[in-house]
């Protein structure tokens, strides 16, 4: 297998799954689609919890101290949120979704409800498929030549999730395959070019922070609160930087 194989399979899985979901979606009553979305929200919260508990991982706590991991994640979310809100990342993601909707429709979209549904599907699916720990760890592993097993597992999960998402949210989920290609492809190329450049404690910080962001996605799916997860994405870059700073100060 070549480097990047996992991302290629992942993109294909999202396209295939969302295609099936779109075909099934209009045949399902609204109540069923809402129930499926709620179920995905609950599963997303479960995955978020499993990722976030890495904040207690022994490798992480040994590197930065027993009390620092939670503070690192807190600092990453706060600083990342400030940067993301100033850059208006959430609005830009929605803008990309709207642009894709118009391109795929081959003309201006006049149905505001359809446009909103497309954007919501694109943004939500992009965040779910690109924020999780398997995205970062799997892409880095693939790029380092250590195999694509993690991304193949993620592909299976994303394929089934995209069926449910697309049945509820429509074609916007299929467009999220572009986000998967850009994000995972970039991480894979970065790892291939720089080698083993991120120590394990730094990756654990990214995983724990990503878990919190996924919890925000789960709350959105459950319609509890429209957490601007897009604005929080810079936290994934701030977390390893803060980890490195804490290790440097303590050494």
Q: Give the pLDDT confidence score for residue 250 in this predicted structure.
A: 79
**CA distances for 61 relative to 54, 66, 70, 107, angstroms:** 10, 5, 10, 53
Is a pLDDT exceeding 90 seen at residue 241? yes
Q: Give the pLDDT confidence score for residue 20 in this predicted structure.
A: 92
- pLDDT tens, 167-201? 888 888 998 999 899 989 998 898 787 655 678 89
How far is Cα of residue 192 from the mean position of the Cα atoms in its chain? Answer: 21
Average pLDDT, stretch 29-41?
79
pTM of the entire predicted model: 0.74
Average pLDDT, stretch 71-100?
88
Q: How confident is the model at residue 239 (pLDDT cuts 50, 70, 90)?
A: very high
What letter would DSSP give residue 224?
Answer: S
Average pLDDT, stretch 105-130?
73
What b-and-e string marks burial along 33-52, b requiring 16 or more CB atoms within 10 Å of the CB? beebbeebbebbbebbeebb
Q: Give the pLDDT confidence score for residue 99 in this predicted structure.
A: 75
Average pLDDT, stretch 28-50?
81
Reduced to 3 states, what is the DSSP secondary structure of residue 246? helix
Rounded CA-CA distance 109/106 in Å is: 9
Q: Give the pLDDT confidence score for residue 194 in this predicted structure.
A: 67
Average pLDDT, stretch 15-29?
86
């Amino acid at each position: 297998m070549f480097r990047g194989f996992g991302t290629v399979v992942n993109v294909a899985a999202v396209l295939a799954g969302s295609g099936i979901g779109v075909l099934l979606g209009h045949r399902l009553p609204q109540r069923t689609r809402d129930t499926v979305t709620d179920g995905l929200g609950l599963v997303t919260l479960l995955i978020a919890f499993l990722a976030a508990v890495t904040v207690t991982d022994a490798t992480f706590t040994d590197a930065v101290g027993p009390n620092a991991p939670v503070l690192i994640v807190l600092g990453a979310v706060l600083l990342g949120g400030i940067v993301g809100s100033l850059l208006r990342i959430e609005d830009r993601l929605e803008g990309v979704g709207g642009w894709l909707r118009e391109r795929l429709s081959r003309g201006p979209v006049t149905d505001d409800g359809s446009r909103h549904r497309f954007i919501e599907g694109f943004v939500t699916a992009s965040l779910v498929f690109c924020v999780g720990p398997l995205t970062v760890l799997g892409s880095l592993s693939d790029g380092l030549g250590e195999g694509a097993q993690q991304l193949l597992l993620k592909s299976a999960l994303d394929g089934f999730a995209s069926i449910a998402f697309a049945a509820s949210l429509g074609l916007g989920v299929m467009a999220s395959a572009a986000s998967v290609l850009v994000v995972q492809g970039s991480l894979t190329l970065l790892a291939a070019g720089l080698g083993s450049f991120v120590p394990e404690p730094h990756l654990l910080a990214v995983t724990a922070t990503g878990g919190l962001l996924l919890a925000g996605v789960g709350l959105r799916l459950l319609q509890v609160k429209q957490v601007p997860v897009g604005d929080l994405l810079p936290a994934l870059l701030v977390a390893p930087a803060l980890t490195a700073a804490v290790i440097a100060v303590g050494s």
